[in-house]
Amino acid sequence: MRFRHLDPDKNSLVLGRWKRRKVRKMMSTEIDLIRLWRLDCQGRGITDLVIKHYENYLREYRRDARPLLGSTTFDLSSFLLERSGRWAPATKMYVRRAFRSFFRFALEAGAIDEDPAAALKSIKVPTAPVRTPGQAERLTLVGACLNRRDVAIVDVLFGTGMRRAELAALTIDDVDIVEGTIEIRKSKNGRPRTAVMDERARRATAAWLDERAQLSPVHEELWLNELGGVLKSSGIRMVLRRISKRSGVVFSSHDARRAFAVAWLAMGGSETGLMAVCGWSSTSMIARYVRERQTTLAVEEARRLFAARASSTRPPRRHFSSRRLRVDRSSLDGALPWFTSQTARGTSTGRCSSLKETRRPRRSFGLSGHGTSRPAP
């Protein structure tokens, strides 16, 4: 099959009216339509992993339900409803997105006259509790590792917050131990970014690089398995499962990503910096990842703010003035030593004749003389 109607620059289908007739001839089967849809998704910037999951769900629908081009909204809804016991609500929402993406493309290409997925109702995904391990769990997982490679994997996940697929795609040239940074070239959203390692991840990665230099100089990938081959994303998942089983801590790679986000905000980091480091484009992802620790973060931030305000506020100025002794300070100019000696003798003559010792008048609160003052004894 020749793709004569593809834009080589954007790698997407050019859907002009004058080309509709030829495009219909190319779409003689649903397999051809799925191939063109895959190319269109790549041209729109959707990652290969997402396209692969979408395509698997479409093929499952064709195998278990009916052909795609003859489907109706009722058929799609029935397919999702039949799998309610097997699929989680988040998975059903993912399948709905695959249907909407494919049938929207088919409608624009002229393969169908009406989009059956446009009327699919949105699926409400309940908020499920998630795990957010802390520093103690990190140390426990590191203690259960058997070699330097496993220690580096756990510390890099906790110290950078990267995804498991991004970790598996790293090469030796992506790591800069001197600067403490890692270049992530293959990400979920297709946008490269730079991750910064904390001190523990930096030391663990340096130790693994020293050991890896003696193992296999053939591969440029950062992680190797026990046989000297490349350790892929599925292999890293198995490594983490074994570490979790030995340590007794229920753990996955995404738990470390949530722990990194919580630790970043707890240390006073900005949301803009966290979005840049984690590769997010919306602040809603921050609220989604730290929702289990929002109260803790709010309490810690309030304590920092109150402590900063208390340290910046000056104490009130104290005025040392006596109510019982009124002193005319202008009469004490040049005579303060003499005044001190005369006061010690119990005399107040000379230049300090203006000193007057008075007492505060007392008020009587009796029945007969309420509000009247009487001289002090």
Question: Is the pLDDT score of 216 beyond 90?
Answer: no
pLDDT tens, position by position, 298-350: 777 777 777 777 776 655 555 544 444 454 555 545 545 544 555 455 544 44
Q: Give the pTM.
A: 0.60
Higher-confidence residue of 124 and 233: namely 233
Q: Which of 167, 125, 134 is nearest to 279 (CA)?
A: 167
In the structure, what pLDDT confidence band is assigned to residue 11 with cuts at 50, 70 and 90?
A: very low
Helices (H), 83-129: 89-109
In the structure, what pLDDT confidence band is assigned to residue 58 with cuts at 50, 70 and 90?
A: very high
Q: Which residues pair with 171 in a beta bridge?
A: 221
The rounded mean pLDDT for the chain is 78
Mean of the pLDDT values across residues 237-264? Answer: 91
Mean of the pLDDT values across residues 79-91? Answer: 89
Q: Which of 160, 169, 212, 207 is nearest to 187 (CA)?
A: 169
Question: Is the pLDDT score of 102 beyond 60?
Answer: yes
Mean of the pLDDT values across residues 103-122? Answer: 90
Q: What angle do CA 171, 176, 178 make, to 5 degrees?
A: 155
Q: Which of 5-14, 123-132, 166-175 has the highest mean pLDDT?
A: 166-175
What domains sit in the chain, N to C, each tagged with a CATH number? 6-119 (1.10.150), 135-310 (1.10.443.10)
In the structure, what pLDDT confidence band is assigned to residue 352 with cuts at 50, 70 and 90?
A: very low
Query: Which pair of structure tokens corresponds to residue 345?
Result: 């003798």
Separation of alpha carbons 40 and 13, rounded Å: 6
In the structure, what pLDDT confidence band is assigned to residue 187 with cuts at 50, 70 and 90?
A: confident
Lowest-confidence region among 78-92, 126-140, 237-251: 126-140
Check if the beta carbon of residue 103 is closer than 8 Å to that of residue 118: yes
Residue 67 has a pLDDT of 86
Question: Is the pLDDT score of 199 beyond 90?
Answer: yes
Question: Is the pLDDT score of 240 beyond 50?
Answer: yes
C-alpha dihedral, 145 to 146 to 150 to 155, nearest 10°: 40
Q: Which of 90, 85, 97, 109 is nearest to 19 (CA)?
A: 109
Check if the beta carbon of residue 145 is closer than 8 Å to that of residue 207: no
Mean of the pLDDT values across residues 61-80? Answer: 90
Higher-confidence residue of 367 and 226: namely 226
- Three state DSSP letters for 218-283: CCCECCECCCCCECCHHHHHHHHHHHHHHHCCCCCHHHHHHHHHHHHHHCCCCHHHHHHHHCCCCC
